Amino acid sequence: MNSDWQTHKEYSSPLAVNAIRWIALHLGRSAARVILYPITVYYLIFARTQRRASWLFLQRALKRRPSWLDVAKHIHCFAATILDRVYLITGQFDKLTITFPPENMPLKFSREGTGCILLGSHVGSFEVLRSYAVKKCPLPIKILMHEGQTPIVMQALHALNPTIAETLIPLTEGENSLLKVKDALDKGYAVGMLGDRITGNAKEKTVRCTLLGSDVYMPAAPVLIAASLKVPLIVFFGIYTGGNHYEINFELLADKITLSRQNRQQDIQQWTQKYVDILEKHILAKPYNWFNFYDYWQDDDHQ
């Protein structure tokens, strides 16, 4: 199962995170980006598990044997998006170029009084939409999120802007989280959630799908929530394309999901696989935007 991410420690310290934050805010983005290179080298040398995971993923996505430069590029891309969160959260959008599609699909539903689920992933930056929606776009948004893996980074970033932190619905609240999701959807909010990781909780419902040629387990919750609350399900990506540019993409997975009684599990699997197919398309287009730095397919276990 692809729940191994929860066992990995956070390679950060409050001092390091606050130092980068200070440099980003006081010396500017150009100076801060220079620091990304030694950070990349540090992770390349010392973060063996993440380095190995990057190599295994890139071997699938690039369809060749990755070089050290490929892995470094992958880590640097991730570090760049973490840095840009500082500017997104503090509303410094002039430092970034964010391209929207011609139609802002979730905003269209919201204006019609219909809530929707924005199903994202650890491909690109989810923060680019949350921050942009709060500061620049009149899209009411909440994010259902598990914060447990990188608490130091998340706490430091949210401290910059409590308004954005208030958009969070902690996944750790169990049934209370789902009640908050329903309440937000009933009010016409777009509720964002990530659909490419499972927690490993024995009670969590999962389905088996195929991604980049091998089986993976995906959470069934997004499809189940969309079906039970009868709201549209939109797949979202905030792709980092280099420099200071991000590209937001929306793809409508379904206006309404109906699960039959006779083939309920099969229907859940098929809808989830449609999400995974869209995910794969974007992974292959921009492979360095994949930010699941653990053995996602359990390749090491099979070698």
Predicted pLDDT of residue 157: 56
Q: How far apart are CA 8 and CA 295, in angstroms?
A: 11
Question: Do residues 87 and 128 lie in contact, with contact meaning Cβ atoms separated by under 8 Å?
Answer: no
pLDDT-flagged residues of the chain (< 50): 1, 5, 10-13, 149, 152
> What amino acid is encoded at 79 in this protein?
A
Question: Do residues 282 and 249 lie in contact, with contact meaning Cβ atoms separated by under 8 Å?
Answer: yes
Q: How far apart are CA 6 and CA 233, in angstroms?
A: 26
Question: Do residues 75 and 192 lie in contact, with contact meaning Cβ atoms separated by under 8 Å?
Answer: no
Predicted pLDDT of residue 232: 96
Each domain of the chain, given as residue ranges in start order, spans: 4-292
Nearest Cα to 7, choosing from 253, 265, 199?
A: 199
Question: Do residues 154 and 84 lie in contact, with contact meaning Cβ atoms separated by under 8 Å?
Answer: no
Residues with Cβ within 8 Å of 76's Cβ and at least 6 positions away in sequence, in order, are 36, 37, 40
Question: Do residues 12 and 206 lie in contact, with contact meaning Cβ atoms separated by under 8 Å?
Answer: no
Predicted pLDDT of residue 240: 97
Q: How far apart are CA 74 and CA 68, in angstroms?
A: 10
- In this structure, what token pair is assigned to residue 251? 């793809």
Inter-axis angle of helices 14-26 and 29-46, nearest 10:
150
Nearest Cα to 247, choosing from 212, 278, 286?
A: 286
For 272-295, the pLDDT digits (tens) are: 999 999 999 999 999 999 999 999
